[in-house]
C-alpha cells in the first residue's frame, strides 16, 4: 500500500482497477498517526521516501492527559451537543480531570454522552460519570513491591533519557520489545517522550 500511495503522490495520478487510462489528481494529503514514524522508518516498517513525502508540515497534538485545562470546555461542548443545558458541576469536573483519558477526546465524549443519558434530563452528578477502566494484559503482578516498581520506572526513564526519547533504542537497551516498553510506560505513568 505504501508503494501505491508513494506512486500516487509522486506522479499525481491514479489508475482505477480495470481502467486503461490514468486519472490526474489535484489533491493535498493530510495524514494522521499515533505511531512514531521516525522509529518505524528506522525499524524498516515504513518507507523512508514516503515518510519524507508526507512530512511537509508536522503538527504534534498532545494527548488529553497533557491538556487538563481543555477537559472542562470539551465536556461542556459535549454536554450541549447531547442536549444537556445544565452547568458542569465542580465535583464532576474534578472527577473528569483526575482521569488520564487513554482514549483521548473520543473517550471523554463517550463518557459525557453516557452521563447525560444516565442523568435523564437533570444535572450531571459524579455517580453519572462511568469511566471504564482498561486493564493491561502485561500489568505487573499484584505481589510486586513498590520498591521494585520504583526501580523499574527509574530504569525506563534513564533508558529513555540516554536514547534521547527514542523508544525503540530504549527498549533494546532494556532488553525488551518496544510494545512492552510502551505498556510499561503506561503502567508507570511515564509521559510519552517528545521529539
In a domain, 192, yes or no: no
What would the 3-class secondary structure string for the chain be? CHHHHHHHHHHCEECCCCCCCCEECCCCCCCCCCCCHHHHHHCCCCCHHHHHHHCCCCCCCCCHHHCHHHHHHHHHHHHHHCCCCCCCCHHHHHHHHHCCCCCHHHHHHHHHHHHHHHHCCCCCCHHHCCCCCCCCCCCCCCCCCHHHHHHHHHHHHHHHHHCCCCHHHHHHHHCCCHHHHHHHHHHCCCCCCCC
- Can you give the pTM of this predicted structure? 0.51
In a domain, 156, yes or no: yes
* 99-108, 130-139, 183-192: segment of lowest average pLDDT: 130-139
Report pLDDT for 159. Answer: 86
In a domain, 194, yes or no: no
Residues 47 and 68 in one domain: no
Mean pLDDT across 43-66? 85
Residues 17 and 37 in one domain: yes
In a domain, 49, yes or no: yes
Tell me the pLDDT tens digit for each residue of 121-143. 888 888 888 887 765 555 444 44
Report pLDDT for 44. Answer: 87
Mean pLDDT across 152-178? 86
Residues 49 and 69 in one domain: no
Count the domains in the chain: 3
Report pLDDT for 194. Answer: 64
In a domain, 193, yes or no: no
Residues 68 and 116 in one domain: yes
The CATH number assigned to the domain holding 161 equals 1.10.10
Residues 68 and 46 in one domain: no
In a domain, 136, yes or no: no
Report pLDDT for 174. Answer: 87
Last residue of a domain, one of 128, 159, 177: 128
Residues 74 and 119 in one domain: yes
Confidence of residue 145 (pLDDT cuts 50, 70, 90): very low
The yes-or-no verdict on residue 68 having pLDDT over 90 is no
Domain residues for the domain of 170 are: 146-187
Residues 157 and 110 in one domain: no
The CATH number assigned to the domain holding 100 equals 1.10.8.60
pLDDT exceeding 90 applies to what percent of the chain? 14
In a domain, 139, yes or no: no
In a domain, 170, yes or no: yes
Amino acid at each position: 500500500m505504501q508503494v501505491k500511495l508513494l506512486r500516487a503522490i509522486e506522479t499525481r495520478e491514479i489508475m482505477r482497477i480495470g481502467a486503461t487510462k490514468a486519472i490526474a489528481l489535484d489533491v493535498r494529503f493530510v495524514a494522521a498517526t499515533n505511531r512514531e514514524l521516525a522509529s518505524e522508518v528506522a525499524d524498516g516498517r515504513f518507507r523512508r521516501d514516503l515518510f519524507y513525502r508526507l512530512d511537509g508540515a508536522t503538527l504534534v497534538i498532545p494527548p488529553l492527559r497533557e491538556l487538563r485545562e481543555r477537559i472542562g470546555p470539551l465536556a461542556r461542548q459535549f454536554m450541549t451537543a447531547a442536549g444537556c443545558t445544565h452547568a458542569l458541576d465542580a465535583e464532576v469536573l474534578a472527577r473528569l480531570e483526575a482521569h488520564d483519558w487513554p482514549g483521548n477526546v473520543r473517550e471523554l465524549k463517550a463518557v459525557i454522552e453516557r452521563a447525560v443519558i444516565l442523568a435523564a434530563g437533570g444535572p450531571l452528578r459524579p455517580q453519572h460519570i462511568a469511566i471504564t477502566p482498561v486493564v493491561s494484559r502485561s500489568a505487573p503482578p499484584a505481589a510486586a513491591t513498590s520498591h521494585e516498581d520504583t526501580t523499574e520506572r527509574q530504569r525506563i526513564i534513564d533508558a529513555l533519557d540516554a536514547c534521547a526519547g527514542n523508544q525503540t533504542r530504549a527498549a533494546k537497551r532494556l532488553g525488551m520489545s518496544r510494545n512492552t516498553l510502551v505498556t510499561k510506560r503506561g503502567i508507570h505513568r511515564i509521559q510519552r517522550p517528545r521529539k
